[in-house]
Amino acid sequence: MFLVNDLIALLAANLILTQALGTSTIFIAADSRKNLVGTAFVITVFTFFGSAAAYYSDKLLLEKYSDFKLLIYVISIGILYVILLSALYFISRKKFENSRKYIHLSVFNCAVMGTLLTVSERASSDPSFMGLKNYMMAGLEAGIGFITAALILTAAYRKLNSAKVPASFRGFPAMLVYLGIISMAVYSLI
Amino acid sequence: MNKQRTPIFKGLLGNNIVLSSLMVISPVIICGDTLRNAAALVYAFSAVTFLAVTISSFVPKKLPYTLKVIIYAMISSVVYIPVKWAAQEFFPGAVVRIGIYFPLLAVNSLIIFRSESELYKLPKAAMTVRLIFYIFGFDAVILITGFVRELFAYGTINEKIVDINTPISGLSKPFGGFIFLGLFCGLYRWIRLIVRNRKNEIRSDADVSGQ
């Protein structure tokens, strides 16, 4: 029963199915398992550590300078972007060559930036949420939510791109309608 | 004549950033449920994108890609600040209604990635024209989406009640946005296919008559 509750909570908090954040990236990620794993992993890293940066930014930034929040988030993600690329470069050149496209694809993505902004908004409406652990957990949840939605899409990816689907609706349009139907199912759970 | 028209209208019709490349679709799906929201998104997207891409075009091209992307994102987040202040002045309530999608527009893929891969490779004048038509392309899609979804979801046009017998309230929800955009995208591709086939027919007729 706990597992069912957790699954429902995970789906209900899913940023793609409920807020359409990172939809275009998920279409690229669902193309192959390798892409899915790579993109999902990098997005989770960005949302997890980005949320920690967002926590400190929200904590330290004065209310009258709240308009600069986006700029600070962008700088934080930018620093994370450089660190991730540099770390990968020094660990293994081969891994760097193979994985950097996922990092380029995920940085400043709606799923990443949207997570930071959503978490921050949640904290401003509910002061009890304001804590490093809560921020990082929300970032992790967003990453897991991305993986869940990508897996759901991967299950139907080939069929939605097959020749049986009319040419005009093949690919992106069919995938959007499919995600809409899944989103409707999730909406009924909330 | 055709060769001159194609690049100008590319962003509006042939290569629409929303319907063809699926860029900036989150605000269309979530916020594009009324004309008022659509108008606010038109303003926010147009102002931020035009200013950010134009200013970013002066960033030296020799810099490493990673650094350039970060600088583009930083420029657009700085541009976002006065645009937000102006929105609070001219579109009261819009910033609250659009919520997190307002700042998200400032880090859209057109500013961060498409500009680097396509726009900055063009001469400044051609870049500006193409950028304007990309922006028009987004504006057209969001306005049509806002109009249709508001009409069928709420039975209103710009908050004025019209005679719709059976409103489809689901169209105002995120899932309604996904499904509507999917259908819109399919319709757009269908029209493009018809136009392309007709052009091919005309070309093959011309080849035959030329022989």
Length of chain A counted residue by residue: 190
Residues of chain A by 3-state class (helix, strand, coil), percent to 5: 85, 0, 15
Rounded to whole angstroms, what are the CA distances from A172 to A14, A42, A45, A59, B32?
20, 23, 27, 40, 19
| pLDDT for res A9 | 67
Under 8 Å between Cβ of B30 and B101: yes
Q: Select the residue of A24, A110, A178 nearest B104 (Cβ to Cβ).
A: A110
Closest CA to A112 of A85, A86, A94, A138: A138
Rg of chain A over Cα atoms, rounded to whole angstroms, equals: 18
Under 8 Å between Cβ of B11 and B136: yes
- The per-residue pLDDT for range B130-186, each reduced to its tens digit, is 999 999 999 999 999 999 999 999 999 988 888 777 888 999 999 999 999 999 999
| pLDDT for res A188 | 84
| pLDDT for res B38 | 93
* Pairing, β B156-157 against β B160-161: antiparallel
Question: Does an H or E element contain B58, and which?
Answer: none
Instruction: Please give the model's pTM, rounded to 2 decimal places.
Output: 0.89
| pLDDT for res B210 | 58
| Closest chain B residue to the Cα of A104, Cα to Cα | B66
Dihedral of the CA atoms A29, A187, B167, B96 (nearest 10)? -80
**A131 in contact with B, Cβ within 8 Å:** no
Residue A108 to chain B, least CA–CA distance (Å): 7
Under 8 Å between Cβ of A140 and A44: yes
Round to whole Å and give the CA distance between B159 and B146. 12
The answer to whether the Cβ–Cβ distance between B189 and A168 falls below 8 Å is yes
Closest CA to B153 of B137, B138, B174, B184: B174
Contact list, A68 vs chain B (CB under 8 Å): 81
| Closest chain A residue to the Cα of B105, Cα to Cα | A110
CB count, 10 Å around CB of B102? Answer: 25
What are B161's strand-pairing partners? B156
**ipTM confidence:** 0.89
Residues of chain A falling short of pLDDT 50: none
Closest CA to B40 of B102, B110, B132, B106: B102
CB count, 10 Å around CB of A90? Answer: 9
Round to whole Å and give the CA distance between B152 and A19. 21
The answer to whether the Cβ–Cβ distance between A180 and B112 falls below 8 Å is no
Interface test with A, best of B117, B185, B193, B195 (most A CBs within 10 A): B185
Taking only residues 135 to 174 of chain A, the set having a beta carbon closer than 8 angstroms to any beta carbon of chain B reads 166-169, 172-174
Written as six digits, the tokens of B43 are 């303003």
Under 8 Å between Cβ of A81 and A103: yes
| pLDDT for res B4 | 47
**A70 in contact with B, Cβ within 8 Å:** yes
Under 8 Å between Cβ of A112 and A50: yes
| pLDDT for res A63 | 84
| CA distance from start to end of chain A | 17
| pLDDT for res B208 | 61
Under 8 Å between Cβ of B174 and A179: no
Contact list, A114 vs chain B (CB under 8 Å): 26, 100, 104
DSSP string, A63-132: GGGGGGHHHHHHHHHHHHHHHHHHHHHHH-HHHHHHHHHHHHHHTT-HHHHHHHHHHHHHHHH-GGG-SH
Residues of chain B falling short of pLDDT 50: 1-4
| pLDDT for res B9 | 65
The answer to whether the Cβ–Cβ distance between B74 and A27 falls below 8 Å is no
**What one-letter code names the amino acid at B12?**
L
